[in-house]
Amino acid sequence: MSPTLGRLVRWAPAVLWMAVIFILSAQPGLAVSHDPAVELPIRRVAHAGVFALLTLLIAYAVRAGQAHRRLLAAGVLAAIYGLTDELHQAT
pTM for the model stands at 0.86
- Give the residue extent of every domain in the chain: 3-27+34-90
Q: How confident is the model at residue 65 (pLDDT cuts 50, 70, 90)?
A: confident
Model confidence pLDDT, tens digit, residues 19-37? 999 999 888 877 776 777 8
Compute the distance between CA of residue 51 and CA of residue 49 in angstroms, rounded to an integer.
Answer: 6
Q: Which pLDDT value is given to residue 52?
A: 97
Short-list 32, 13, 9, CA closest to 21:
13
Maximum Cα interatomic distance, the chain, rounded to a whole number of Å: 52
